[in-house]
Amino acid sequence: MASKLSGDEVDLPGFFADLVRCETRLYNALNDRLRERHGIVTSQFEFLRFLRDRPGARVADLAAEFAIGVGATSKSADRLEKQGWVVRQPNPSDRRSSLLDLTDEGARLVDAAETTFTNGLAELIGDTLDGSSAAAAVRVISKLRCVLERDQIGTPTG
């Protein structure tokens, strides 16, 4: 059930529920499209896109970006490597970690999947938000994310 707004008073639990349910439904819809058209899921696409935009990132960089544990991130990177989409290189400045890069196949995959992802988002969100409401929503969510990340709220401990 959608949250209620009366005057200037915001139903924060309702807003939270709306935010989480929207994210889940969008994520699942994009997941289905990416799996059907490219054989990957949304989390794999996001990891590949991150690595495309930040070559030589470490597993810890991925974990920090996506606010998930290092162990789960490492396992995900292992799966991407096993598929032939990612390679690990020794980290010259830290023997305990490795640097991750896309393979040519991984780069082609993420580029093709990005079109599906972007078009899917436009299709799913486009009719709901016009220019000014979309810009306002982006500003509010971006500000909330910045505050949460700045204060390290919700950061996994392991």
Domain boundaries, the chain: 21-118
CATH number of 21-118: 1.10.10.10
- The dihedral built from the CA positions of residue 141, 142, 143 and 149, taken in this order, carries a sign that is positive
Q: For 12-43, what is each residue's pLDDT tens digit?
A: 899 899 999 999 999 999 999 999 999 999 99
Angle at 121 between CA 118 and CA 125, to 5 degrees: 145
CA distances from 158 to 59, 63, 73, 109, 148 (A): 13, 10, 11, 30, 18
**Taking the model in full, what pTM does it have?**
0.85
- Closest CA relative to residue 51, chosen from 84, 91, 119, 99: 99
Write out the two tokens for 147.
């505050």
What is the SS3 assignment for 87?
A: strand
* Total length of the chain: 158
Confidence of residue 103 (pLDDT cuts 50, 70, 90): very high
